[in-house]
Structure 1
Amino acid sequence: MSSDSTPVDLADPAFLAALAATIKRWGRELGFADVRIADVDLSHREAGFQAWLDKGYHGEMDYMASHGMKRARPAELVPGTVRVVSVRMPYLPPAVDPARSEPPDWRAREEARSADPAAAQVSIYARGRDYHKVLRARLQQLATRIEGRIGAFGYRVFTDSAPVMEVALAEKAGLGWRGKHTLLLHREAGSMFFLGEMLTDLPLPVDDPVTSHCGQCSACITACPTGAIVAPYELDARRCISYLTIELKGSIPEALRPLIGNRIYGCDDCQLYCPWNKFAQRASLPDFDPRHGLDSASLIDLFGWSEAEFLKNTEGSAIRRIGHERWLRNLAVGLGNAAAVASHRGDAAIVAALRARQGHPSALVAEHVAWALARHGIT
């Protein structure tokens, strides 16, 4: 008799094992590269998380502290939770058009763009559709399938959208190990994937965690442009380019601006130079394909977007969350940093683009534009 016709008995270990296998199969059918299950005891992470908060490493991300230890206690967030169904979904887009004269390897291509002072470097994950929407929709479909099989059950689905220690839960479920850059790593997939989870009251059998394979490697620590990885497995978010360009609402500290380079939304460097990402898997869904040329745009082109164009071009994108004002702030820093390359210092097109925003009504934008012009020797 197939598992789908087996009577529902949530006290029967054999039924639960079959259900877990079915959930994993359904998850793969929905586009997840891997689906694994863990219990929700994260008590071993509480002291480290509190120490991180005490150091102020979360910066302005008040939401990291506002829920207290609930972040490490999923059963307090969703009462009745005993298991997490943890999933990962790769987001690295398919290889670029071979007709384009670019390095064939994605890492070499990203390195080349980071070194191009005119290029606008957007983190790979943010070039396509908002991952929150994609993963939540797929997780909801998975939950609906389970409901169709066993009837109503307790659950909530998340992806980077609630006080949940996603990496710790995914690590416990065996989706990979926590790298020294604090992201999850997988031997056959690197780290270029999103995580999501379903917290549930189903007492499913759990999977075993995997061992760490970072060894003595410190490539991610060395590669970080701002020195945000202050020690293995310890990130000072206040120095992280992703935090500075996305989470920080005000002025970017002047000392850190030159270190940001042309990175205008997020940063991939700690992943780019990780040896395990030679195994990074390509996305199976078209949702993460780049939109509006965000994989090849110039700083000047994006700086020219009006607010209406910004809203139109970022519809359905994670980028929209920072708003047009911070978008211009970030781009002004990138344009200012182009002056670090002699051939671009005082470039007429860059200076003209900055001058066009010099009288911007936002004090935040105007300040960063003035700083950028000063970098080009314009006062």
Structure 2
Amino acid sequence: MKDLGARLRAFAQEAGFVKVGICRPDAVPDAGARLGAFVEAGHHGQMAWMGERMAWRGDPRALWPEARSIIMLAESYSPEHDPLEILERRDRAAISVYAQGRDYHDVVKKRLKRVGRWLIEQSPGAEIKVFVDTAPVMEKPLAQAAGLGWQGKHTNLLGRDLGNWVFLGAIFTTLELAPDAPEVEHCGSCRKCLDVCPTNAFPAPFKLDARRCISYLTIEHRGPIPEEFRAALGNRIYGCDDCLAVCPWNKFAVEARDQRLTARDDLRAPALADLAALDDAAFRERFSGSPIKRIGRDRFVRNVAYAIGNSGNPDLAAALAPLRDDSDPAVADAASWALSQLKRI
């Protein structure tokens, strides 16, 4: 299967992936224990799904016993601008780079299926399953085992020839393909990603407490965000890129190849006042085809209210006034908190 593996890499890169690697389903024997410790410590917060099907998540052989090889693929979404610049524009919303374009689940999955179809054409009788961040698959440890990169101190995947702005996809197959050598860690003494975190979400290098992470708080956390973190949110209303943006390995970041993953003009620096006025219908229309849509209007506007409270601009109080009586309690609470912050100015 050596020749097939080489042709597979060539086809996948031609299809748009920036790097491809192969590992065995048993390549990450410690993944289950690491996940168990993470959940046992409560670091997953409200993400109950992380504690479910842990046997599948920790061992690909449990998820699909017939799998003999796992093909890991990386797709770049490197930004064209410095994602930290927006943090200085306090009347504008900071949206995580990955969410400024088309929903990556759709883009990457279609490309994975294209590669999978090609693989079956080359090997009739072979079976495949494709996964993009929605199944109990630990993509980052598998990607390291397949040689794509390593999990940095910020727990995200990065590579010496990739940087860390990448989406990961997986193709499980019944084919026996020659595995690649796993990558090792190259972070050295650098701790820029740890030091830049606004909420100290890393209790130690290579460990994340999601309950303190702005990405988790703005996307996964339901209800009011704890007051201790509200000021640290700044104008970040969907995700946080700080730890990714400061990684020195990004000097080798690969340019994004798919224009659908580049930022939409209306999501680069949207006005907070405009976003605060969105009702459910307007929210759905504006974020059609965007990953932002999945958190719903209420959680989104809750985040916008916190950002307005952190803006230091009393003129934005008018955008908060209607939200004090919002039907969603978390939105109403956020608006009241934000107004109290602006009154202090």
Query: What is the TM-score with the length of structure 2 in the denominator?
Result: 0.96
Tell me the residue number matched to 1:370: 336
Structure 1 range deviating more: 39-48 or 316-325: 39-48
User: Could you tell me how far 1:135 is from its partner in structure 2?
Assistant: 0.8
**Distance in 2 between the 1:199 and 1:145 partners?**
14
Tell me the residue number matched to 2:158: 185
Output the amino acid matched with 1:130.
D
**Distance in 2 between the 1:22 and 1:188 partners?**
21
Tell me the residue number matched to 1:281: 254
Structure 1 range deviating more: 60-69 or 144-153: 144-153
User: Could you tell me how far 1:89 is from its partner in structure 2?
Assistant: 0.4
**Distance in 2 between the 1:187 and 1:300 partners?**
40
Output the amino acid matched with 1:365.
V
Tell me the residue number matched to 2:310: 337
Q: Does 1:32 align with 2:6?
A: no
- Tell me if structure 1 keeps the 8 A contact 2:11–2:115: yes
**Distance in 2 between the 1:292 and 1:223 partners?**
27
Output the amino acid matched with 2:52.
S
- Tell me if structure 1 keeps the 8 A contact 2:21–2:146: yes
Tell me the residue number matched to 2:48: 62
**Which one of the candidate residues 174, 179, 186 is aligned to 1:213?**
186
User: Could you tell me how far 1:337 is from its partner in structure 2?
Assistant: 1.0
**Distance in 2 between the 1:307 and 1:36 partners?**
42
**Which one of the candidate residues 200, 204, 212 is aligned to 1:227?**
200
Unpaired stretches in structure 2, ≥5 consecutive residues: none
Unpaired stretches in structure 1, ≥5 consecutive residues: 1-15, 96-105
- Tell me if structure 2 keeps the 8 A contact 1:292–1:313: no
RMSD after superposition: 1.3
- Tell me if structure 2 keeps the 8 A contact 1:262–1:334: yes
- Tell me if structure 1 keeps the 8 A contact 2:132–2:169: yes
Output the amino acid matched with 1:138.
R
**Distance in 1 between the 2:256 and 2:77 partners?**
5
User: Could you tell me how far 1:44 is from its partner in structure 2?
Assistant: 2.1
User: Could you tell me how far 1:230 is from its partner in structure 2?
Assistant: 1.1
- Tell me if structure 2 keeps the 8 A contact 1:329–1:364: yes
**Which one of the candidate residues 66, 82, 86 is aligned to 2:68?**
82
**Distance in 1 between the 2:258 and 2:208 partners?**
31
Moved over 3 A (4+): none
- Tell me if structure 1 keeps the 8 A contact 2:77–2:166: yes
Please state whether the residue corresponding to 2:203 is helix, strand or coil: strand
User: Could you tell me how far 1:188 is from its partner in structure 2?
Assistant: 1.9
**Distance in 2 between the 1:267 and 1:40 partners?**
32
**Which one of the candidate residues 29, 34, 48 is aligned to 1:43?**
29
**Distance in 2 between the 1:303 and 1:27 partners?**
42
**Distance in 2 between the 1:296 and 1:332 partners?**
16
Output the amino acid matched with 1:194.
F
Post-superposition Cα deviations, 1:316-374, rounded to whole Å, max 9, x if no partner, equal 110000000001001001011113xxxx2xx22x1000113222111121111011001
Please state whether the residue corresponding to 1:294 is helix, strand or coil: helix
Post-superposition Cα deviations, 1:291-328, rounded to whole Å, max 9, x if no partner, equal 25111212112222232221111111100000000010
Post-superposition Cα deviations, 1:256-300, rounded to whole Å, max 9, x if no partner, equal 111111100000000111111122222101111222511121211
Tell me the residue number matched to 1:311: 284
Aligned pair count reads 343
Output the amino acid matched with 2:130.
V
**Distance in 1 between the 2:32 and 2:168 partners?**
20
Q: Does 1:199 align with 2:184?
A: no
**Distance in 2 between the 1:265 and 1:185 partners?**
22
- Tell me if structure 2 keeps the 8 A contact 1:82–1:201: yes
Structure 1 range deviating more: 139-148 or 285-294: 285-294
Structure 1 range deviating more: 184-193 or 285-294: 285-294
**Distance in 2 between the 1:264 and 1:282 partners?**
25
**Distance in 2 between the 1:35 and 1:313 partners?**
34
Alignment of 1:97-116 (within 5 A): 106-107=81-82, 110-116=83-89
**Which one of the candidate residues 126, 130, 139 is aligned to 1:153?**
126
Post-superposition Cα deviations, 1:110-169, rounded to whole Å, max 9, x if no partner, equal 222112211200000000111011111110111111112221322110111111110000
Please state whether the residue corresponding to 1:229 is helix, strand or coil: coil
Post-superposition Cα deviations, 1:205-237, rounded to whole Å, max 9, x if no partner, equal 000112221000110000111111110110000
The percentage of aligned residue pairs carrying the same residue is 40
**Distance in 2 between the 1:76 and 1:304 partners?**
47
Tell me the residue number matched to 1:352: 318
**Distance in 2 between the 1:247 and 1:158 partners?**
20
Tell me the residue number matched to 2:238: 265
**Distance in 2 between the 1:115 and 1:279 partners?**
26
